[in-house]
Structure formats: structure tokens, C-alpha cells
Chain A
Amino acid sequence: MDGPEAARSDDRPDLPAQRAAADPYLRVDDLRVRFDTPDGVVRAVDGVSFAVARGRTLGIVGESGSGKSVTSLAVLGLHDARRATITGEISVGGRQLVGLPDEEVRRLRGRDMAMIFQDPLSALHPYYTVGRQIAEAYRVHHPRAGKREARSRAVDMLGRVGIPQPARRFDQYPHEFSGGMRQRAMIAMALVNDPDLLIADEPTTALDVTVQAQILDLLADLQEEFHSAIILITHDLGVVAQVADEVLVMYGGRAVEHGSVEQVLRSPQHPYTWGLLSSVPSLHGDADTDLVPIPGSPPSLINLPAGCAFHPRCRYAGRNGDRSRTEVPVLAPAGRPGHLVACHLSAEDRDRLYREDVAQVGVAR
């Protein structure tokens, strides 16, 4: 799939070329989401672009507050229109969603695009049976389907996601399910209408590690079966390495690095990505030397640092004089086709620094 950067001229270098050729199901272009709050304007997403084709998985990585969840909620049109201002383009299956009346977006929601949430216990309604909630998701978009049809469809889906005795489980409440089972039910609910786009927002964060792997496997299997485009939002690079085809690294509401999993995880170009890699514990090394946290904390989205938003936490910010503090770096090709990075360091510097400072440490090794 890593085709050459074919017919694309460089007028929009922020869209990796390999996906443009694949006619992506979802295309997000220069998405901006801001919220007016009493404390000021929160620029939660500030000019992010990406695309996902059917059958492909995009991992969006970043700390809390990097804008990854806000991006996905914007795609589904779940932001309160009175509080969020959304500009840019979101095209799902050729339909432009930004500016579309809510009623029309609603009809796509759950049918063409569906979402799996982080904590299935709070994301499922505690007062309704699991089966009823799945059947309800089916009946919204199949108004002519009867109760029995919806039920058998829901039972079928529960079985497909690996829940034993699905017909009996249909009538149980979320609190009678284990954490992993709940997330499976959540997935069954998201897939009940066979959506072309599935957004999974930290689907394994609330689960213990053994269940995590099962859920990720299940998602991969179901993707093969349903051939849907998947966006996987996570802060866990291990999860990304396991299931994603491409990675978008976000920081302070902006994309800082974008490329295939190979490119971003094997030869990361942005100091923030280096920091993420260095803070993943490895099984082999010594935690004191191998586990290097990123200093400081995520920036305020109301007062984003000027220039490169990462500069206050970046070890290399001083190397270009004042540039990091004054000029916002744009996402630009970083050597190999499809690999983009937003950093003021020169390509040679990045290569050298990565080899010298990062590659020896922890999982990067």
C-alpha cells in the first residue's frame, strides 16, 4: 500500500499520498474545532488533516488534551453546535458533514459511522438490557424491522463478537457483564448496522491487559470481515503497533507527525514522538534508565505556547535560534514518501539526534 507519491503535487503536503490513491472513505481536511468558554477560546483541534480508506486503520496518538477525542467526536457530529465551532472539511463516503443539518448527520451516525467508547460500563445505559440497547441501535436505522428481527440481529452480533450464550446474554444488564464482555457488547452495538467507518476511542484503556489483546484481535478480525475503515484513538503506542496501518501523532490540537506505522515507530522524526516512545516501558531494560518521561505537562489549549507548541518541553528547541518560539512549524515531508513531520529541526539533525539520544533507549531499541 505504500505507493509512490504519484500524481499529487505538493500544494497540500499534509495529506500522505499513499491514501489519496486508495479513495479514502473518510477524509478530514484542515479540521478546526474551538469552544468558546468563559476563560477564553479553547482551540481543541487546530488544522488537522487525515484520511482513512476502507479496510485500513489509522491510529491517532497523543496525550490527554491533544485533541484526539475532540477530532473523533467532530467526525460523528457529536459536539454541541451551540458551544463548538467547527470549520474545515469532513467527508464521509463523499458527503461533506461540516455544515450539514444535524438531522442528516444523525441519520449517518450509527449507520455509516459508529463509535466505540473508552469505558463500556459508563457508555452503556445501566437501566436497559444489553440486548435491548443493541436492538435499539439496529431499529433506529431499520425503522421497518420488527422487534423479533432486531432481537435476532442483536443476538447474532453478540455471538459474532464472541459472547457465549448470546440469546441468554441478550436479556442481561450491563452490570451483569464483565469488563471485557461489556466492551464486546459495545463493539456489537457499533457494528450492528455494518458501518463503513468505525471510531474506537481508547477501546482497551479500561480493560486489563489480557482482555486488551483479545479486544484488539477481535477488532482486527471484524475489520477483515466487515471491511470498514477504523480510527483507533489511543495513548498506547503498543496498541498502535499491534493494529494500525498509519499513525497520526497529535500535540496541542495539531498534527505533529504522520506516516505509516513502520515510519513513525521505526524512524520517528518528531521529538514529541521520541518522547512518547521513550516513555513506553520495555520488558528488557532497566526502568531507571530506559523509561524517560517527557518533562512538563500538556499545554493549555487556551494559551498554546507560541511557535511550536511543544517547544517548552523540547530538549532541542534552542537549536534553531528563536524559530521554535516564534514560528509554527508546518507538516512537511520528512524524507520518505508519506512521512510528514512538523518540526524546525533539519532532517540531518533529526536523524542524528534520534540515533544518538533516543534509539538506544527502551522500546525504541
Chain B
Amino acid sequence: MARFLVRRLLSAALTLFAVSVLSFLMFFALPRDPVSGMCPKNCNPERLERVRQELGLRDPLVSQYAGYMKGIVTGRDLGSAQGGRCDAPCLGWSYVSNEAVSDTIARVLPVTLSIVIPAAILWLLLGVGLGMVSALRRGTWLDRAAIGFSLTGASLQLYFVGAVLLIVFVYNLRLLPVPNYTSFFDDPLRWASGLVLAWVALAFLFSAIYARLSRAQMLETLSEDFVRTARAKGLAKPKVYGRHALRAAITPVVTIAGLDVGGALGGTVITETTFGLNGMGRTAVDAVRSGDLPTIMATVLIAAVFVVLANVVVDLLYAAIDPRVRLG
């Protein structure tokens, strides 16, 4: 098990290294001159040259990359034009927002985390629960209702569901405040009431896929021989379904959940935009729009870290669920 863990972590580190190199090269591959974004007005050649020097753009590529990576690990000095000393994890300086990128991230990342994690818990419970129920009650009205629900969810768009929720709960019924972000540690109640619509909207759309997937998986597992064995032993239904069938049916759900959660943590642009919340997704989109390269780089890197981490977690969960994986 320890060897398994070490191997997975090593391959995760390798993946992250590749992603960081690729996204770093983006600076140089993009048609836009990185300097132009940082010197919007009255740029004369001397000034441009000075900025280039300051940014280290005259240095060889490898040392630029090493400098950036060193900044993430230990922090580095960026020079007076970029706010001077930049503490670890230093992700550079944004001329667009005039602050250290890490400060921007520290502000917007909690928003995305607060949207995605509760929503993911909600959509997993709802999706897998619905899938289980409709598999066990196959052909009944409950099954049909669950399928209808998931079809609806799968075919709707978030901005539509979000808008409907906003109109009903915020503007008509006035049950909830206009969505906003309050830190969980300041006021958990305001944190929840400001975000609950985003959770519900995300969970409704995502749970559709999970309901269908876990229904199909459950139906397949229920026809497995070992489920028949469990029944032949005289186990009661809750144990047959919960302990024997569900555990075998859940693995593909874990895979998809890992990918979805990992991806969503990198930013949920549409959700954030629909509900007017300032998270990673919107920050990334704004950065792309304004050519704010250090921020783009940071959001891409962080999104990659989440996806890779989610995959490691999925692998570990796999090994925990299926003993045969641990050998591999």
C-alpha cells in the first residue's frame, strides 16, 4: 500500500511538472507581448526595455522558469515596480490589478471552494441516492420520476436554472439574500445563505449524470453472481444492497466524481457569473480578457493541481474499495 501511494504521488508530481512547463511556455507562444499589458499608456522603447529587464524577460528561458518555480517554493524579490518582496507561494505580480497574484488567488479561491465542495457533496448524495432508488425500484413510478428528474437536469443549462432560482427565491419570495460570499469563519449562516442557490443549481445539473450512471452500475451489479450469493446467505436487503452491491457499483462513480470535482475546483465560470460571485473561474476569464499573463498562469497551474490531486485521491479510493488494485 505504501509503495502504491509513493508511485501515485511521484507520477502526480511528474504531471504537475509537465503542466507547469507547458503553461509557462504559453507566455512565449502567445502572440501578445507580455510587456504591452503592463505598460498600457505612454510607452516609449526605453520604458519597454526597462520593464523587460525588470521582468527578467532577457534572461534565458530555463532561468526564467527556475525563478518562477523558486518563487512558488521560497518566494523571491520582484523589484520595486512589482511590489518588491514577494513571499512564497509567489505567483508573480499582476499589472492589471496591481497586486501580487497570490493575493488575488487568496481572495477568490475560498469562493470557489465554498461553491464547489458543498455542491459536490450535495450532487453526489442526490445523484447516487436517486440512482440507487431507481435501480432498486426499476420500472416503478419512482424509477420513472428519477429518470425524468435526471433527464431534466442533464438537458438544462446552469444560467437558466440559476436565473429561475434567483427569480423565485431571491426576487419573488425574498427568502434568500442576493448571492454573495461571506467567509465561513466569519459567519457560517451568512456563508451558507449566500451560496445555497449556487449549490442547488450545480447539484441539480451534476446529479443528473450521477443518477444515470449509478442506476446503470447498480442494475449491472445486481445481476452479479456475488449479489446472488449474498442473498443466498440470508442477508437482509439493506446489507445486500449497501454492503455488497453498492461497493462494487460505486467505482465508476468515484472516477467521474474525481474528474468533476477536480475540474470544478479550478473554477466554475458559469456558476460564478450567474450568481455574481468572484471565484477562480471569473478571475481566470477576466485575466484572459485583459491579457493578465501572471494571473492566467496562476489559475491554470492551480486548476491543474486540483485535477492531479483529485486523480490521486481517486486512485487511493480505488485501492481502498478494490483490493485487487493494491497489487498493481
| One of B224, B225, B233, B322 near A140 (C-beta < 8 A) | B233
**Interface contact A78-B234, CB-CB below 8 Å:** no
**Interface contact B322-A127, CB-CB below 8 Å:** yes
In the complex, what residues of A have CB within 8 A of residue B230's CB? 125
**Interface contact B234-A111, CB-CB below 8 Å:** yes
The answer, yes or no, to whether A114 is at the interface (CB within 8 Å) is yes
Kindly state the separation between the CA atoms of A140 and B231 in the bound complex, as whole angstroms: 11
**Interface contact B228-A78, CB-CB below 8 Å:** yes
- The residues in A between 292 and 342 inclusive whose CB is less than 8 angstroms from any CB of B are none
Kindly state the separation between the CA atoms of A122 and B227 in the bound complex, as whole angstroms: 9
In the complex, what residues of A have CB within 8 A of residue B13's CB? none
**Interface contact B232-A124, CB-CB below 8 Å:** no
The interface-forming segment of A102-110, A254-262, A274-282 is A102-110
Task: Evaluate whether A106 and B232 lie within 8 angstroms (CB atoms) in the complex, with A126-B324, A173-B324 already known.
Answer: no
- The residues in B between 295 and 328 inclusive whose CB is less than 8 angstroms from any CB of A are 321-324
**Interface contact A175-B324, CB-CB below 8 Å:** yes
| One of B232, B236, B248 near A114 (C-beta < 8 A) | B232
The answer, yes or no, to whether B226 is at the interface (CB within 8 Å) is yes
| One of B231, B233, B324 near A189 (C-beta < 8 A) | B233
**Interface contact A123-B225, CB-CB below 8 Å:** yes
Kindly state the separation between the CA atoms of A333 and B228 in the bound complex, as whole angstroms: 37
| One of B225, B232, B235, B321 near A127 (C-beta < 8 A) | B321
- Digitize A138-150: 1 where CB-to-B-CB distance is under 8 Å, 0 elsewhere: 0011000000000
**Interface contact A126-B248, CB-CB below 8 Å:** yes
The answer, yes or no, to whether B229 is at the interface (CB within 8 Å) is yes
Task: Evaluate whether A123 and B228 lie within 8 angstroms (CB atoms) in the complex, with A106-B236, A136-B233 already known.
Answer: yes
**Interface contact A110-B321, CB-CB below 8 Å:** no
Kindly state the separation between the CA atoms of A340 and B278 in the bound complex, as whole angstroms: 83
In the complex, what residues of A have CB within 8 A of residue B139's CB? 82
- Digitize B205-240: 1 where CB-to-A-CB distance is under 8 Å, 0 elsewhere: 000000000000000000011101111111110000
In the complex, what residues of A have CB within 8 A of residue B244's CB? 125
**Interface contact A125-B231, CB-CB below 8 Å:** no
**Interface contact A140-B234, CB-CB below 8 Å:** yes
The answer, yes or no, to whether B247 is at the interface (CB within 8 Å) is yes
Instruction: Looking at the assembled complex, report how far the CB atom of A4 sits from the nearest CB atom of chain B, in whole angstroms.
Output: 38
Nearest chain A residue, comparing its CB with the CB of B244: A125
- The residues in A between 90 and 121 inclusive whose CB is less than 8 angstroms from any CB of B are 106-111, 114-115, 117, 119
Nearest chain A residue, comparing its CB with the CB of B235: A140
The answer, yes or no, to whether A264 is at the interface (CB within 8 Å) is no
In the complex, what residues of A have CB within 8 A of residue B229's CB? 117, 123-125, 189
In the complex, what residues of A have CB within 8 A of residue B232's CB? 76, 78, 109-110, 114-115, 117
The answer, yes or no, to whether A137 is at the interface (CB within 8 Å) is yes
Kindly state the separation between the CA atoms of A316 and B276 in the bound complex, as whole angstroms: 85
Which residue, of A106, A119, A122, A127, has the highest number of chain B Cβ atoms within 10 A?
A127
Q: Is the interface of B mostly helix, strand, loop or mixed?
A: helix
Instruction: Looking at the assembled complex, report how far the CB atom of B84 sits from the nearest CB atom of chain A, in whole angstroms.
Output: 56
Kindly state the separation between the CA atoms of A231 and B118 in the bound complex, as whole angstroms: 54
**Interface contact B225-A109, CB-CB below 8 Å:** no
In the complex, what residues of B have CB within 8 A of residue A114's CB? 232-233
| One of B225, B226, B234, B321 near A107 (C-beta < 8 A) | B234
Nearest chain A residue, comparing its CB with the CB of B227: A125
- Digitize A150-183: 1 where CB-to-B-CB distance is under 8 Å, 0 elsewhere: 0000000000000000000000010100000000
- Digitize B287-298: 1 where CB-to-A-CB distance is under 8 Å, 0 elsewhere: 000000000000
Kindly state the separation between the CA atoms of A189 and B234 in the bound complex, as whole angstroms: 12
**Interface contact B248-A127, CB-CB below 8 Å:** yes
Which residue, of A78, A107, A137, has the highest number of chain B Cβ atoms within 10 A?
A137
**Interface contact B248-A78, CB-CB below 8 Å:** no
Instruction: Looking at the assembled complex, report how far the CB atom of B144 sits from the nearest CB atom of chain A, in whole angstroms.
Output: 15
Nearest chain B residue, comparing its CB with the CB of A106: B234
**Interface contact A109-B323, CB-CB below 8 Å:** no
Nearest chain B residue, comparing its CB with the CB of A118: B225
In the complex, what residues of B have CB within 8 A of residue A76's CB? 232
Instruction: Looking at the assembled complex, report how far the CB atom of B4 sits from the nearest CB atom of chain A, in whole angstroms.
Output: 15
| One of B226, B231, B235, B236 near A126 (C-beta < 8 A) | B226
In the complex, what residues of B have CB within 8 A of residue A111's CB? 234
- The residues in A between 210 and 224 inclusive whose CB is less than 8 angstroms from any CB of B are none
Instruction: Looking at the assembled complex, report how far the CB atom of A112 sits from the nearest CB atom of chain B, in whole angstroms.
Output: 9
**Interface contact B226-A109, CB-CB below 8 Å:** no
| One of A78, A107, A122, A124 near B231 (C-beta < 8 A) | A78
Task: Evaluate whether A126 and B234 lie within 8 angstroms (CB atoms) in the complex, with A78-B228, A117-B225 already known.
Answer: no
In the complex, what residues of B have CB within 8 A of residue A127's CB? 247-248, 321-323
Kindly state the separation between the CA atoms of A115 and B226 in the bound complex, as whole angstroms: 12
Task: Evaluate whether A123 and B234 lie within 8 angstroms (CB atoms) in the complex, with A173-B323, A173-B324, A175-B324 already known.
Answer: no
**Interface contact A110-B323, CB-CB below 8 Å:** no
- Digitize B48-77: 1 where CB-to-A-CB distance is under 8 Å, 0 elsewhere: 000000000000000000000000000000
Instruction: Looking at the assembled complex, report how far the CB atom of A183 sits from the nearest CB atom of chain B, in whole angstroms.
Output: 13
- Digitize B236-257: 1 where CB-to-A-CB distance is under 8 Å, 0 elsewhere: 1000000010011000000000
Nearest chain B residue, comparing its CB with the CB of A173: B323
**Interface contact B324-A122, CB-CB below 8 Å:** no
In the complex, what residues of B have CB within 8 A of residue A107's CB? 234
**Interface contact B248-A141, CB-CB below 8 Å:** no
Task: Evaluate whether A119 and B225 lie within 8 angstroms (CB atoms) in the complex, with A127-B322, A175-B324 already known.
Answer: yes
A–B pairs, 9, beta carbons within 8 Å: A82-B139, A106-B235, A110-B232, A114-B233, A122-B224, A122-B226, A125-B226, A126-B324, A173-B324
In order of increasing CB-CB distance, the 10 nearest A-B pairs are A110-B234, A109-B234, A122-B225, A110-B233, A125-B226, A137-B233, A123-B225, A115-B232, A123-B229, A173-B323
List B residues at the A interface (Cβ < 8 Å): 139, 224-226, 228-236, 244, 247-248, 321-324
Question: Assuming A117-B229, A123-B225, what are 8 further A-B pairs, CB within 8 angstroms?
Answer: A76-B232, A78-B231, A107-B234, A109-B232, A122-B225, A127-B322, A141-B234, A175-B323
